[in-house]
Amino acid sequence: MIELHTQSYRNLTFALALGSFLVFCNLYVFQPILPQLAQHFQVSEIEINWVFAASTLALSVCLVPWAITSESLGRRFVMLTGLAAIPVIGYMMLLTESLPTIVFLRACMGVALAAFASVAVAYMVEELSSEAFTRAIGGYIAANSLGGIAGRVAGGVLTGHFDWQTAVFAISSFTLLGVAIVALLLPKQQHFKPTRGLFFHHNRALVTHLSTPIVWVAMIIGGVNFALFVNLYSVMGFRLVAAPHNLPVALTSLIFLCYLAGTLTSKWTGKWRAHYSPITGMVLGTVLSMTGMLVAIIESVPAMLLGLLLISGGAFFTHTLAYAWVSQKATSAKATATALYLVHYYVGGSLGGFFLLYCWQHGKWLSVVEGGMVLYLALFALCWKLNQLNKHMGPQPILLKD
């Protein structure tokens, strides 16, 4: 196993962090420019949300198939294949001005992104020692947030000063360079044992994970948490470009710098897990995120930014703890388990967008707060349920073999 402070550890963690950065940079590049695209194509907020939702839905649908594929072909091969396809799809988007075609290509992008996202954590679990994994997972998820920040800010700023095609070209070209670096640095697998022709075995693994409450409840927590987090940002973008603020897209995209709070809190989860209960941390993260939504009721830009900082910090804290919980409680078929967590995560993000944007259309931010409170109450109930399961059932090992 790869230990802390070795050259292999540094190569692995940097390569996976860079790959994660590229994935989330490409996933979120269109989110800050949804208001501008809605005006350009003369469609509603809910309709233009398909540009964003198509990629997240396709990603969620393809996570488990890619995870199953990686059990046969290997984690490294699957991750590099998905990464290599990203810039190709990005360049293809430059050839069209049709909204349906853009939505279709964004769905294709989601398929490619899923290849990396579905197996990266399983690769870490298999190749790193327990101590090294505990340190590495926080950095990996911190790279998620940095990639999300970079993609959104670059997308908004470049679109504001040029057009969306310029933003896509720049990010696709950067991705092409980054993929070459990842391929060069990512160590070959040493502890992976391929299993071929076991389609029904992996179906059975899915059923087992879903029928193990101590794993499945954490997956639902991840989904509801992401439904709130990512879509409160989308709604805030529409709020800031509308009256009375009337801010340009290039400026509103800078709200995603508030993601840096999530970068910090995701790194802190390693120390939290060493001394305190992960479930208590999930509750704390939910409280911080909910407080941010309530602070943002105040109709001033500084209050909104403070609210977004709290939302980001709390949501990433909860996400990192729930993600690590699933990867460690599922003691076998790990790629399938972590992929299934991300299925819940991104389905939640996709459906949450339509829910909160519907609230925005019918009652602005106060209606968004009302809808959001329903989801926050659900999160608290799920954390309570997970705690009860943990106390009365203890860790439930999954008996399937990879």
pLDDT tens, 252-262?
A: 999 999 988 98
Domain ranges of the chain: 7-393
| Model pLDDT, residue 401 | 35
Rounded to an integer, the average pLDDT of 58-86 is 90
Predicted confidence at residue 200, as pLDDT, reads: 59
Distance CA 260, CA 312 (A): 8
How confident is the model at residue 65, as a pLDDT? 87
DSSP secondary structure letters along 181-196: HHHHHSPPPSS-----
Report CA-CA distances (Å) from 84 to 103, 148, 181, 276.
Answer: 20, 19, 11, 40
Quick one: average pLDDT of 127-131? Answer: 87
pLDDT of residue 114: 93
Question: 149-158: per-residue pLDDT in tens?
Answer: 899 999 999 9
Choose the most confident range, by mean pLDDT, from 140-144, 226-230, 261-265: 226-230
Q: Which of the residue ranges 130-134, 219-223, 302-306, 344-348 would you say has the lowest mean pLDDT?
A: 130-134
For the record, the structure tokens of 148 come out as 């999300």
Q: Does residue 399 sit in helix, strand or coil?
A: coil
pTM for the whole thing? 0.82
User: Is the model's pLDDT at 100 over the cut of 50?
Assistant: yes
Q: What is the mean pLDDT of residues 355-368?
A: 93
Residue 313 has pLDDT above 70, yes or no: yes
pLDDT in tens, 180-204: 999 999 998 887 776 665 555 666 6
- pLDDT at residue 197, as a whole number: 54
Residues 270-283 as b/e (b if ≥16 CB within 10 A, e otherwise) read bebbeeeebbebbb
- By the 8 A CB rule, do 56 and 349 touch? yes
Q: What is the pLDDT of residue 268?
A: 85
- Number of other CB atoms surrounding residue 193 within 10 Å: 10
pLDDT band at 397; cut points 50, 70, 90? very low
Distance CA 125, CA 134 (A): 9
* Residues 6 or more apart whose Cβ sits within 8 Å of residue 268: 138, 317
Q: What is the pLDDT of residue 203?
A: 67
Give the tens place of pLDDT for each residue, 318-335: 998 998 888 777 766 666
pLDDT given for residue 378 in this prediction: 97
According to the CATH classification, is domain 7-393 in 1.10.8.80? no
Give the pLDDT of residue 134: 81
Asked if omega into 87 is within 30° of 0 (cis), the reply is: no
Encoded tokens for 337: 């388990």
